[in-house]
Amino acid sequence: MSMYTEKVMEHFKNPHNMGEIPDADGVGSVGNPVCGDMMTIYIKVKDGRIADIKFKTFGCGAAVATSSMVTDLALGKTLEEAMSITRASVAESLGGLPPVKMHCSNLAADALHAAIEDYHKRQKEAKQ
Amino acid sequence: MAQPRRIYMDHTAGRPVDSRVVEAMLPYVETLYGNPASLHSYGQMPREALEQARAKIAELINAEKKESVIFTSGATESNNMAIKGVALRNQNRGNHVIASSIEHMSVMNPVKYLKTKGFDATFLPVDRHGFVDLQSFEKAVTDKTVLVSIMYANGEIGTIEPIKAVSKIAHGKNAYLHVDATAACGQVPINVRDEGIDLLTLSSNDMYGPKGVGALYIKQGVNIEPLIHGGGQERGLRSGTENLPGIVGFGKAAELVKTEMPAESERLIRLRDRLIKGLLDVVPVSFLNGHPTQRLPDNVAVRFSYIEGESILLSLDLQGVSASSGSACTAKTLEPSHVLLAIGLKHEEAHGSLLCTLGKQNSVEDIDYVINVMPDIVKRLRKMSPLTPKELRE
């Protein structure tokens, strides 16, 4: 299936950081079943950096590959650096995505941002 | 890793052309290139071949005479011609058109187009197997109904519609019945006179003929407005120089189907049922789309909960198997197939569909290979999916 780059297929075949973190510090879920893509990103934060990250994805090849790629890009980064990862930078790191996939299946950066926001929210609640 | 075997199970999308069909076509590509409309000797052989092909198509569907068969560029044109042609020509008979909600887009969209031109349209619901709801139909059809379009069988879920019963109801209100037999032709016997069909769409490639050619059967006495105006070929209903190599190939394909269909369909049904049972047995939380027995011999449509169709197809492709899915991600639109939604599936259920359409070159070994590779594919994707319940994750 040549619609995807080799890089996308590599990540689809052997996704990195797939799974759950039961005691995650932040969890972000995006997507909806109507367009067929749902992602959840789990993060562990240590000293302001993403110390561990895992994903779960229901979706097409692009959805799986972008999830895997975003965990690679975010692991070890400060939360601020991780927030600057965008849909475009994820797609670029994969050597591009088919145009039809840019919108619906390229949600991984959104899930990452949601997980970081969840982490901040939990921190704030813990302080109160 | 050794190169995996290649197995093609997407015959509804495209079929190889039978070698005997290619052989029949070649003279009309290379030497018999004359125009059937020409009076000189170069026109004579093509003219005879054109009429022989027409007779073979007519014979396959038991048409009253060969002149009732009009050649087109394929099923999409035939469906457009039937629906727009009948509606536009017969406005004195009414302005209401009925179709099922699981028709192919080349039926759905012409009907929607007619709506923009002032016609009324009703899309009939289907039950969970995909059978058109005859009670709704009886209520919807009125004296204003000019045309009813119901497919012979659905290519996505395999369901064969009760055409005789549909015809009875349509004719009770003096409406014409158009039947799209694209998915059914070549797989099940079709008898337009016995089944009460006024217009029938046929596709060449679906019978192992060449692409780019199809036909519309129009019962004697049914008047239609042509869509393509020009030199008056095909009784003035479809102008343009005939695609003779294609038509000759189509005719040969119809001839072969007529004699070989009974045995081949029986063989396909055995393969179909082996694949359906095999997949449902080895994959937990899996279901059949469509009806177990009232279905096309080549159609295996299943769905696996918690995972998405394109991921299944990519995984199968990596194992050498080419199949299809009703998932949004494999199509140009983001919505799942309208057929799967019409039979009552939720979006996430529709997204997990797998469609294998079988053909002549598929063997028992192919079937068993697919059954064999499927559990690991599903297990891997389910492990990845946030929708998978705990007990299925390991």
Q: Which of B311, B351, B383 has the CB atom closest to A61's CB atom?
A: B311
Using CA coordinates, name the residue in chain B closest to A103. Answer: B334
**Higher confidence at residue A32 or residue B54?**
B54
Q: Are the folds of B7-15+261-392 and B19-257 the same? A: no
- pLDDT of amino acid B27: 96
Chain position carrying tokens 């899309």: B123
Using CA coordinates, name the residue in chain B closest to A2. Answer: B314
- pLDDT of amino acid B1: 47
- Mean predicted lDDT score pLDDT of chain A: 93
Chain B residues within 8 A (CB-CB) of chain A?
A: 306-311, 313-314, 317-318, 327-330, 332, 334-336, 346-348, 351, 383-387
- pLDDT of amino acid B239: 97
The active-site residue, picked from B22, B329, B331, B341, is B329
Bridge partners, A52 (sequence order): A44
Using CA coordinates, name the residue in chain A closest to B394. Answer: A19
Question: E strands along chain B, which residues?
Answer: 7-8, 69-72, 96-100, 120-124, 145-149, 176-180, 199-203, 214-218, 286-288, 299-304, 321-322, 353-357
Indicate the CATH number for domain B19-257. Answer: 3.40.640.10
**Residues B268 and B296 sit within 8 Å (Cβ to Cβ):** no
Using CA coordinates, name the residue in chain A closest to B317. Answer: A1
Q: Are strands B7-8 and B96-100 parallel, antiparallel or unpaired?
A: unpaired
Q: Any catalytic annotation for residue A60?
A: no
Phi, psi of B15 (to 5 degrees): -120, 150
pLDDT in tens, A36-81: 889 999 999 999 999 999 999 999 999 999 999 999 999 999 999 9
- How close, in Å, is residue A127 to chain B by CA atoms? 30
**Residues B9 and B356 sit within 8 Å (Cβ to Cβ):** yes
B70: left (phi over 0), alpha (psi -120 to 50) or beta: beta
- pLDDT tens by residue, chain B, 394 residues: 456 689 999 999 999 999 999 999 999 999 999 999 999 989 999 999 999 999 999 999 999 999 999 999 999 999 999 999 999 999 999 999 999 999 999 999 999 999 999 999 999 999 999 999 999 999 999 999 999 999 999 999 999 999 999 999 999 999 999 999 999 999 999 999 999 999 999 999 999 999 999 999 999 999 999 999 999 999 999 999 999 999 999 999 999 999 999 999 999 999 999 999 999 999 999 999 999 999 999 999 999 999 999 999 999 999 999 999 866 555 556 678 899 999 999 988 899 999 999 999 999 999 999 999 999 999 999 999 999 998 887 6
- How close, in Å, is residue A124 to chain B by CA atoms? 27
- pLDDT of amino acid A38: 93
pLDDT in tens, B356-385: 999 999 999 999 999 999 999 999 999 999
> Mutation test of the interface with chain A: which of B1, B334, B347, B390, choosing the one with the most A Cβ atoms within 10 A?
B334
**Residues B221 and B93 sit within 8 Å (Cβ to Cβ):** no
Q: Which of A29, A35, A56 has the CB atom closest to B384's CB atom?
A: A56
Q: Which of A39, A40, A64 has the CB atom closest to B311's CB atom?
A: A64
Residue A125: pLDDT over 80: yes
- Measured in residues, chain A has a length of 128
Give the start-to-end residue ranges of the domains of chain B: 7-15+261-392, 19-257
CATH architecture type of domain A6-122: Alpha-Beta Complex (3.90)
Which residues of chain B have a CB within 8 Å of the CB of A63? 308, 311, 329
Give the start-to-end residue ranges of the domains of chain A: 6-122
Which residues of chain A have a CB within 8 Å of the CB of B1? none
State the Cα torsion B322-B325-B327-B329 to the nearest 10°. Answer: 20
Which tokens belong to B199? 């217009």
Binary contact (A34, B311; C-beta < 8 A): no
Closest among B222, B209, B103 to B152, alpha carbons compared: B103
> Mutation test of the interface with chain B: which of A60, A105, A106, choosing the one with the most B Cβ atoms within 10 A?
A60
CATH architecture type of domain B7-15+261-392: Alpha-Beta Complex (3.90)
